Chain A
């Protein structure tokens, strides 16, 4: 169960992104949505990520934010025939030529895709 540690890193990263984006004369925007990509080979379980996020966001700048998770497919390109394959059940075998020499091109990531902020301050946040 290392999702908490990774979600802590995510929250720090989101706070950093918002800090970098904000010019000095604007007020602190409200963070309304955080969008991440999670692949089957990321080593994290989306349900546990969502739970950890809901717990850890309390008291942070992300308290009102929703977490949106884009689940990416596990795909690899074949070094022998060049085919792009979708990997099922973690069997890294080319669906065209049966080669096992495959390079993962997507599906091993856990990354922050985007942060949505609301810069108006008089409206209540939507419930997640």
Chain B
């Protein structure tokens, strides 16, 4: 699979402060990369550099093989994006907003636009003024606007900001569908990890303008230790069966760190020692936990 977005060692300073230091990552077709970091880490700035909204001090950004600094028109031709918030003309209707964008591209058919309107679920309200839309509707229209050009790269800056759980679910399903069906490569930035967790295939973690790690979500979670929470009839006398790092939570619960293959042996041990077992729960490490581990910092603001 080819790289559709390739960011190489981009640096950006504003005044004396260095905002981005050698930021690099790639996105392939069909990949959904979560761009994760605390506020002020440089997520939006990186996105602005990728889209040509701010200048790049050093480094390169290539989209579909074209350099954004030297071949802007070709590089941006198949890109769709939302930066900070969907930029829509409030005094026009949803349809009029989409029409303005459609006119900027060649060969976009009316039915393509109708398909997008249906896809984003705004068919019944598309002819209302955007000023009357809810935030969720505006986010969806913004995604629609990003899709008009039939892009193969989608760059979404916090697209679920301010949405209710249903709205988030809609966006999530939409993005997964687009990645799968249209082989679009997606970059989503967020600081809300639980929302991203079910959407992304890969995660790129940024802090203070530097990329800390980039890997697939499965890898990220795997490398962290998995824990099991076990509910018993009692915990007195259980210590001799536990290892370093395991903990006794209270009179009836313990937490153990084991690989999956070691669990049956542990349970046999407990039963053999006359403990009664009521519940064995795998505590899946959330992305948030994995993140915390990697960055060593609090990411909830």
Asked if A and B are interacting partners, one says no
Interface residues of A (CB under 8 A from B): none
